[in-house]
Structure 1
Amino acid sequence: MLPDEGTVQVQLVVGGPREEGRRELSVYARGGGSGSWTCHARGVLSVGDEASGSGDLSAWPPVGAETVDFAGTYERLAGIGLAYGSAFRGLRSVWRRGEEVFAEAELPEGASTGRLRMRPALLDVALYAWLACADGAGDGVRLPFVWSGVSLHAAAAAASVVRVRLAPDGDGGLSVAVADAAGMPVVSVDALVMRPVREAEFPVPAGAGESLYRGEWVPAELRV
């Protein structure tokens, strides 16, 4: 949990190459700039083969899909502890076809993709389509927990507008396909497992929120 005051340091550690060029990746964080590092995530990086992505998103809007009214979704999520700023409010349209969910998302005006080939905030926005179709809050906010088979297909500059397809993978997760405005694959995920999380489960890092300012009593000379 990011504190209202103070800092949280984040460290990404990439290991040396192992079999078939794979590298281990670990994500650590600590609060207040001191103390021990806590590992929050681990993964494996590798160079994959050229792939076309999962799903054809060239036909748009998706044929046979019904429009979903997602008005009030951001307010509903804020009410259960998941409030988003302007950079994460780029959901423009949502459709549903059976168990499949489709969406169109874009970066807000003035936001830059920089040197990134896929801006993380835009990928995060794409997943809101699934939350928009969820029935109520359930047992907590469902957030991404385990990613498997993540592939980056975009070879050029990052897209500011994307098309998304989300579908159950049969094992309790979701398959994710992201394409640009022309339907060309950008990112695909073989399986994404989402887990219910409550706000109380996020501990505030030790030392976070401590101000650099301190109150101090200084004797004053009384003058008449």
Structure 2
Amino acid sequence: MEAAGLADAGHPLLGAAARLAGGTGPLFTGRISARSHPWVADHRVARAVLLPGTAFVDLALHAGGQVGRPVVDDLTLREPLVLPDGGAVDVQVLVTDDGGASGTLTVHSRPATATDDNGDEDAGWTLHASATLTGHAAGAGQPADTRLTEAWPPPGAAAVDVSAFYDTMADRGYDYGPAFQGLRAAWTDGDAVYAEVALAALPGGAGAAPVPQADGSRYGLHPALFDAALHALVLAGGRQAGPSPDPAEGSDAVRLPFAWSEVALHRPGGLAARVRISPVPGSQDAVRVEIADPAGAPVATVGSLVLRPVAAASLGSRRFHDALHHVDWTVLPPAPATGDTGRQRWVVLGPDPLDLLGALTRAGGRPGGGPPGGV
């Protein structure tokens, strides 16, 4: 890697990093598939495997930390990243830092080894997320709510039965596998929801044993654990109720994380966490998310998170294996021998620089006429 002028990216979803000339970097690259990161296959929404929005946030936090911009001031998810069945996507994370108070970040992907019809290796890139990175942001970095650090569960909060939670979610289009079934317990107290989440044993590759839970320590906050923390949104009620579809948005609508603000990571997330989700004052849609470790020490804060509805059918249309068309040659059985080439029909498609039409005519063929005998 060093011989190619690249460095270790330092993140499990990324393979290499390069400093671009002119001080505009760094650029991080990686390749993601259900084979290389089997736990991703458990994040299935409307029958499509999506890279969770929390993965984009963790990538942004990691990249920002490399350039002294550890806070994600805002991040917008512009397009879901649908992983192709049996295939992989190449990912590029670019940080542009002009030396000012903030930097910008973009995340692009394309099907692995994709080119356009002219062999252009720059073809097929999709912008999935853009973000602004800062050294600090108002509200970011504040300690988690004190009720996460005091007696647990929070005194006076009402327990919520979550035993059938993921069965209900599956009925709504969120068919999460074991790696994303991390919600263990929940309580409500007014508009606030408290929850316990844990990182399940992550699936290994084909024929392999599950990856140890310690894999979570390789991330700032493992996307599966972070995603499980957001599942408590469903219990919050109102418009900020996370993945719960709203009939007004369409019978097949699913709600996905869209806009993140003031996201700060205080320490690596580990294997389990306490969570508090509460409405942002003055907003009907945004919620604040606070995450602490099992002892109550702050792990991460999200100043504001907004979700948006996405038509379930549109996720299927974004699948790479449906979007890319390939030419295939179908061999047809030979026409029965008649001894009369004049009774066979031949068709010449497109320009005819070799004068095939004339050759067929001179050989006794009947282009465009007679019963079908060949093409």
Compute the TM-score of the two structures, normalised by the length of structure 2.
Answer: 0.52
Does residue 42 (structure 1) correspond to residue 123 (structure 2)? The answer is: no
- The C-alpha deviation readout for 1:129-181, integer Å capped at 9, x for no partner, is 11245586323322211000001111xx5321100000010312000000001
2:162–2:184 CA contact under 8 A, matched in 1: no
Match of 2:370 in 1: none
Percent identity for Structure 1 against Structure 2 = 36
Q: Distance in 2 between matches of 1:209 and 1:5?
A: 15
Letter in 1 for 2:292: A
1:113–1:119 CA contact under 8 A, matched in 2: yes
Describe the shift of the 1:33–1:180 C-alpha distance in structure 2 as closer, same or farther (beyond 3 A). Answer: same
Match of 2:245 in 1: 137
RMSD: 2.7
Match of 1:222 in 2: none
Letter in 2 for 1:25: L
- After the TM superposition, which parts of structure 1 deviate over 6 Å for at least 4 consecutive aligned residues? 209-212
Describe the shift of the 1:19–1:85 C-alpha distance in structure 2 as closer, same or farther (beyond 3 A). Answer: same
Q: Distance in 2 between matches of 1:5 and 1:144?
A: 25
Q: Distance in 2 between matches of 1:187 and 1:175?
A: 11
Describe the shift of the 1:54–1:37 C-alpha distance in structure 2 as closer, same or farther (beyond 3 A). Answer: same
Describe the shift of the 1:206–1:87 C-alpha distance in structure 2 as closer, same or farther (beyond 3 A). Answer: closer
Q: Whose relative contact order is higher, 1 or 2, with alpha carbons under 8 Å and at least 6 apart?
A: 1
- By percentage of residues, which structure has more helix? 2
2:260–2:304 CA contact under 8 A, matched in 1: yes
Name structure 1 gaps, 5 residues minimum. Answer: 220-224
Q: Distance in 1 between matches of 2:124 and 2:224?
A: 28
- Tell me the CA shift for residue 106 of structure 1: 0.7
1:5–1:209 CA contact under 8 A, matched in 2: no
Does residue 58 (structure 1) correspond to residue 149 (structure 2)? The answer is: yes
Q: Distance in 1 between matches of 2:287 and 2:322?
A: 35
2:183–2:198 CA contact under 8 A, matched in 1: yes
- The C-alpha deviation readout for 1:174-195, integer Å capped at 9, x for no partner, is 0000000110100001100111
- Tell me the CA shift for residue 218 of structure 1: 11
Letter in 2 for 1:41: A
Q: How many residues of Structure 1 are paired with residues of Structure 2 in the alignment?
A: 215
1:167 to 278, 299, 307: 278
Letter in 2 for 1:2: L
1:54–1:176 CA contact under 8 A, matched in 2: no
The 5-angstrom pairing of residues 1-224 of structure 1 reads: 1-20=82-101, 22-31=102-111, 33-34=113-114, 35-48=123-136, 51-56=141-146, 57-59=148-150, 60-109=152-201, 110-111=212-213, 112-134=215-237, 137-138=245-246, 139=249, 140-154=253-267, 157-170=268-281, 171=283, 172-202=285-315, 203-207=317-321
Describe the shift of the 1:93–1:48 C-alpha distance in structure 2 as closer, same or farther (beyond 3 A). Answer: same
Q: Distance in 1 between matches of 2:164 and 2:312?
A: 20
2:85–2:321 CA contact under 8 A, matched in 1: no
1:103–1:165 CA contact under 8 A, matched in 2: yes
Question: If you compute each CA radius of gyration, which structure gives the higher value, 1 or 2?
Answer: 2
Q: Distance in 2 between matches of 1:69 and 1:23?
A: 43
Describe the shift of the 1:137–1:179 C-alpha distance in structure 2 as closer, same or farther (beyond 3 A). Answer: same
- By percentage of residues, which structure has more strand? 1
- Tell me the CA shift for residue 198 of structure 1: 2.6
Q: Say which SS state the counterpart of residue 232 (structure 2) adopts.
A: helix
Compute the TM-score of the two structures, normalised by the length of structure 1.
Answer: 0.84
- Tell me the CA shift for residue 47 of structure 1: 2.1
2:144–2:297 CA contact under 8 A, matched in 1: no
